[in-house]
Amino acid sequence: MKVENFKTSEIQELFDVFTYSKGASMARMLSCFLNEHLFVSALKSYLKTFSYSNAEQDDLWRHFQMGIDDQSTVILPATIKNIMDSWTHQSGFPVITLNVSTGVMKQEPFYLENIKNRTLLTSNDTWIVPILWIKNGTTQPLVWLDQSSKVFPEMQVSDSDHDWVILNLNMTGYYRVNYDKLGWKKLNQQLEKDPKMR
C-alpha cells in the first residue's frame, strides 16, 4: 500500500499484518487477471532490472505494462498503474453486490475495522475490480467493474431453478461478494441439489 506524508507515530499502523496480507492478495489477483506467463515474465524483468538497487511501486507497474504492451491476448480497461493504484492507494477493500434480477453490480468500501486515522481514507473509494465469475457451472469471460455501479445484462438470471451466478471465482479477487435476495436464494437451491457445485 502506498502512503505519503504521515507522522512517525502513524507509520507503525500502516505496516501491520493486514498490509502484508493485502500485498500477497494483490499479487494473486494480478496473476489471475493477467496470466501466469505474463505475470512471471514481468516479475523477472523487474527483478533483473532492480536487483541490488532501490525501486518504487511505479517501477513494478512499468514492467508489467511493458509485458502487456508486447502482447495482444490480455486486454485491460486501464493501465496496470491505474488498476493497481486503485488498490494500493486506499485502505480496505470493496464489497461487490450483484442484483441478479437487474444485472446491476455495485461496489462499496468495506473496512476490516474502524480506522482510527481518518486521513487514511480516500475520497474516491472506487476500485478497478476484475470479476471472475461463473453462470450455471460454466466459467464466463472476465469483466471489469471500473465505476461505482455498472449493469451486466449477462449476469441476470431467469426464474429457472438451474439459473445462478457466482462472482469471485476461486476467491482470486481482493473483495467480498454479496447478492440480492434472489441471488442468495438461487445459490441456496443449487447447493441443496449439488453441495459440491463449482
Range of weakest confidence among 1-10, 99-108, 171-180: 1-10
Higher model confidence: residue 28 or residue 90? 28
| Sequence-separated (6 or more) residues with CB below 8 Å from residue 47 | none
| pTM, rounded to two decimals | 0.84
- Residue 13 pLDDT > 60: no
Backbone φ, ψ for residue 184 (5° rounding): -65, -40
pLDDT in tens, 51-106: 999 999 999 999 999 999 999 999 999 999 999 999 999 888 999 999 999 999 99
All structural domains of the chain, each given as residue ranges with its CATH number in brackets, are 8-87 (no CATH), 90-193 (2.60.40.1910)
Q: With bands split at pLDDT 50, 70 and 90, how would you rate the model's confidence at 38?
A: very high
Task: Look at the block and give the residue holding cell 440480492.
Answer: 180
- Residue 197 pLDDT > 80: no
Q: Across the strands, what pairs with 78?
A: none
- Residue 183 pLDDT > 70: yes
Higher model confidence: residue 92 or residue 153? 153
